[in-house]
Every structure is written in C-alpha cells, then in structure tokens.
Amino acid sequence: MTNWIENITGSFDQKKQYKRHAARIDALPAPYDTAAKAVLRYVNYSSGITDGATLVTMVGDLADLWERAAIDGTPVREIVGEDPVEFTETFVQAYTAKQWIDKERARLTSATEDAERGQQ
C-alpha cells in the first residue's frame, strides 16, 4: 500500500529527511536563522525542482552552510554577498535536477514541431 501512495506523494523517507534539515535551520541562532529561512523559502518557491532526492541534498547542504557560518561567526552578508537573490539562484544552479518547467519546455517544443509539420 505504501508504494502507490509514495508514487503520488513522494518518498516518506525523503520527507522525513527534509523536515530534519529544516529543523536544523529553525534551530540556528539569530541572525543566521532569519537569513537561512529566507533562503530556504526562496529555494522552495523558485527552484522548481521536482526531484525529492536533490531537494533533500540541497536543504541539507544549506543547513550545513548556515550551521558552519554560525559556529565561525561569519557575517550573514559575507555568506550571501550584496545580492541574496543572486546567491540563492547560484546555489540552486549547483544542483542538477529535473524541474517542473522541463515538462512544459518539452511540450512547447513538440507543439512547435507539430505546427511546423502541419505547414508543409
């Protein structure tokens, strides 16, 4: 029974791992928690990653990064630089994964090719 549910909702193990990593981010001291939560929120809304394993790895790496910064006392701005959006988007680009937009790109390409064949 679990297999078909996980096919629809995703791996329960991955959800548990994600929640553990997110809890690590929640446990960071201020101001690291504020910055890390903002980066994570942006990743979740903008990355479009549909591969659970990649997302779990990314969030784990993000937690590692901010935990290390907190331990070392590294200033937040030294981590994210002048543009936190650019930092986060560059961070996400380091992880290759299938994104929801990939399916739409394939559909657009296919529809264009179909239309072209119809003109011949």
The answer to whether 59 and 22 have CB atoms below 8 angstroms apart is: yes
Beta bridge partners of 99: 49
* Predicted local confidence at residue 18, as pLDDT: 94
| All structural domains of the chain | 2-118 (1.10.1900.10)
Q: How far is CA 65 from CA 74, 91, 103, in A?
A: 11, 11, 31
* Predicted local confidence at residue 47, as pLDDT: 81
Say how far apart CA 35 and CA 27 lie, in whole Å. Answer: 12
Residues 6 or more apart whose CB falls under 8 angstroms from that of 10 comprise: 52
Ordered per-residue pLDDT tens for the chain, 120 residues: 556 566 556 688 999 999 999 999 999 999 999 999 999 999 998 887 878 888 999 999 999 999 999 999 999 999 999 999 999 999 998 887 666 677 888 889 989 988 988 877
* Predicted local confidence at residue 103, as pLDDT: 80
Tell the residue number behind the tokens 């006392």, with chain if given.
73
